[in-house]
């Protein structure tokens, strides 16, 4: 049973508990990696040494490298720190357990601090992103919304917990 001061608060707490249970199950299935986008950042390091003869394929590799670095960069930017600087600091070190702790505003050993992600979640996100990317490449036309001219940059509001179908959160509102 879950208690709360209101029905909304109770549902929020219940969703957090469900998310934690699912994350634990995923971690038991496939293990864990360092969180905060650090695992993806270090994966991009492996791709930098990959050089292809075909210009288009090399451009694709460069796009994937930038995409893999973006979560770590975005976390730093959202904390008011220049993300490119954090990425450079992390990549120049040879310890792949290090990452940026935005809460403490320091580079820390992510596993020691408990900042981890289930491997299954990270892997699934990469597989899904690759699938959507290949779909977009083969699509001849797409309808998109034009961004507001004077609007603030960055990511849109996520609506708290949820947003994913079947996960209970704010997605269906």
Instruction: Encode pLDDT of 81-131 as tens digits.
Output: 999 999 999 999 989 999 999 999 999 999 999 999 999 999 999 999 999
The structure tokens listed for 81 are 């720190």
Mean pLDDT by 10 residues, the chain (173 residues): 79 90 91 93 90 88 93 95 94 92 94 93 92 86 83 51 44 40
CB 119 within 8 A of CB 23: no
Q: pTM for this one?
A: 0.72
Burial call 116-147: b when 16+ CB within 10 Å, e when fewer: bbbbbbbeeeeeeeeeeeeeeeeeeeeeeeee
Neighbours of 164 (CB within 10 A): 11
Neighbours of 166 (CB within 10 A): 8
CB 93 within 8 A of CB 109: no
For 132, phi and psi rounded to 5 degrees?
Answer: -65, -40
């Amino acid at each position: 049973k879950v208690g709360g001061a209101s029905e909304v608060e109770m549902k929020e707490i219940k969703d957090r508990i469900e998310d934690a249970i699912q994350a634990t199950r995923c971690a038991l299935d496939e293990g864990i990696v360092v969180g905060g986008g650090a695992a993806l950042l270090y994966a991009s390091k492996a791709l930098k040494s990959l050089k292809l003869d075909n210009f288009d394929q090399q451009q694709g590799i460069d796009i994937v490298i930038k995409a893999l670095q973006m979560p770590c960069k975005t976390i730093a930017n959202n904390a008011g720190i220049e993300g490119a600087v954090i990425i450079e600091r992390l990549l120049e070190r040879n310890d792949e357990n290090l990452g940026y702790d935005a809460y403490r505003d320091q580079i820390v050993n992510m596993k020691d601090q408990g900042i981890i992600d289930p491997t299954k979640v990270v892997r699934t996100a990469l597989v899904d992103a690759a699938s959507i990317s290949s779909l977009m490449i083969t699509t001849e036309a797409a309808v998109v919304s034009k961004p507001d001219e004077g609007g603030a940059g960055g990511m849109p509001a996520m609506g708290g917990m949820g947003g994913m179908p079947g996960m209970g959160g704010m997605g269906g509102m």
